[in-house]
């Protein structure tokens, strides 16, 4: 077994709320610099910057999970993770078919940029990404599972854009792999208070970063697994076979 520091919720500049500094190359480079072994690029309803992150990950020795932050019909956010870009591409087709068709207002919401692994501009995404899909939370989890992925209920301690904020509880048959608590909620020790409402799901903590400082300083998870795969991650979340996931961890910063 090995231990890895992992952040499973990071936004690139394809997310309109992220800073322009959040290029795939810059994120991965900083991950390598601060001993973050694995990340997931989780843009809103989009995945066009994941390929660049994967290439940068190969360069710097950082595992990049192909991923996305989905907004379901209930206006709650769900982090979905896959092992391969091919799985994520298949999921993107599902998402594209369920989008609302509106155009982004860059002045109001922010621009949405796609770049390559050397930070070269490729195009600006014109569709509005910050909007719910025509997929319920249950449908998101089911269809992601059908493609070999897993789903995490994002920032469940927040009143907005979370499953608990929208529904008040998590149905056991939703089959989420974990519930994420934000850095604010973790700091306020909300874990025990949320256990019943989340159906006693295991917790993860991620940076949900929209800028580099928040990425480096934000909470992460210490995984004890044999390899950085979804199968091993699921075992760690289940605390099975000697694997474990310890949330509330942080990268080592220079003093």
Q: What is the pLDDT of residue 173?
A: 84
Q: Which pLDDT tens digit goes with each residue over 6-18? A: 999 999 999 999 9
- Predicted local distance difference test score (pLDDT) of residue 254: 64
| Tokens coding 43 | 């843009």
Which residues have CB under 8 Å from 161's CB, separation 6+?
71, 75, 76, 77, 154, 155
The predicted pLDDT at position 189 comes to: 84
Regarding pTM above 0.95, the answer is yes
| Angstrom distance (rounded) from CA 214 to CA 208 | 8
Tokens describing residue 236: 């760690």
- Residue 81 backbone dihedrals phi, psi, to 5 degrees: -125, 145
| Residue 111 CB neighbour total at 10 angstroms | 15
User: Is pLDDT above 80 for 167?
Assistant: yes
* CA–CA distances in Å: residue 14 to residues 21, 22, 48, 163, 195: 11, 9, 8, 24, 33
Query: What pLDDT shows up at residue 16?
Result: 96
- DSSP per-residue codes, 109-161: H---EEE-TT--EEEE--B--SS--S--HHHHHHHHHHTT-EEEE--TTSSSS
- β-strands 220-225, 244-249: how paired? antiparallel
User: How far is residue 96 from each of residues 44, 99, 108, 118, 128, measured CA to CA in Å?
Assistant: 12, 5, 22, 27, 11
Q: What is the pLDDT of residues 170-228, one digit of tens each?
A: 988 899 999 999 999 998 888 888 999 999 999 999 999 999 999 999 999 999 999 99
Q: Please report the pLDDT score of residue 102 as a whole number.
A: 93
Q: Do 21 and 212 form a contact (C-beta atoms < 8 A)? A: yes
And the tokens for 55? 């290439």
Helix (H, G, I), strand (E, B) or coil at 37: coil
Q: CA–CA distance from 152 to each of 21, 47, 242 (Å)?
A: 26, 17, 22
Structural domains of the chain ordered from first start:
2-249 (3.20.20.140)
Neighbouring C-beta atoms of residue 194, cutoff 10 Å: 18
Q: What rounded mean pLDDT belongs to the chain?
A: 96
Residue with tokens 């020795």: 61
List, for residues 126-164, the tens digit of each pLDDT value. Answer: 999 999 999 999 999 999 999 999 999 999 999 999 999
């Amino acid at each position: 077994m090995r231990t890895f520091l992992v952040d499973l919720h990071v936004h690139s500049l394809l997310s309109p709320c992220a800073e322009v500094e959040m290029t795939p190359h810059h994120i991965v480079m900083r991950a390598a610099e601060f001993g973050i072994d694995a990340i997931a690029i989780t843009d809103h309803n989009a995945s066009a910057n994941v390929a660049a992150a994967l290439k940068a990950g190969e360069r710097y020795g950082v595992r990049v999970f192909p991923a996305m932050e989905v907004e379901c019909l209930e206006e709650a956010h769900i982090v979905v993770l896959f092992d391969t870009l091919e799985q994520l591409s298949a999921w993107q087709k599902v998402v594209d078919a369920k989008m609302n068709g509106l155009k982004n207002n860059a002045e109001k919401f922010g621009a949405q940029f796609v770049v390559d692994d050397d930070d070269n501009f490729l195009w600006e995404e014109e569709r509005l990404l910050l909007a719910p899909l025509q997929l319920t939370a249950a449908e998101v989890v089911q269809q992601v599972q059908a493609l070999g992925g897993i789903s995490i209920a994002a920032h469940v301690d927040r009143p907005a854009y979370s499953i608990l904020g929208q529904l008040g509880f998590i149905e056991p048959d939703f089959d989420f792999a974990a519930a994420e608590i934000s850095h604010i909620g973790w700091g306020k020790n909300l874990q025990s208070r949320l256990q019943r409402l989340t159906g006693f799901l295991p917790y993860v903590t991620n940076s949900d970063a929209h800028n580099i400082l928040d990425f480096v300083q934000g909470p992460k998870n210490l995984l004890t697994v044999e390899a950085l795969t979804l199968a091993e991650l699921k075992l760690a979340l289940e605390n099975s076979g000697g694997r474990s996931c310890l949330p509330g961890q942080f990268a080592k910063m220079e003093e």
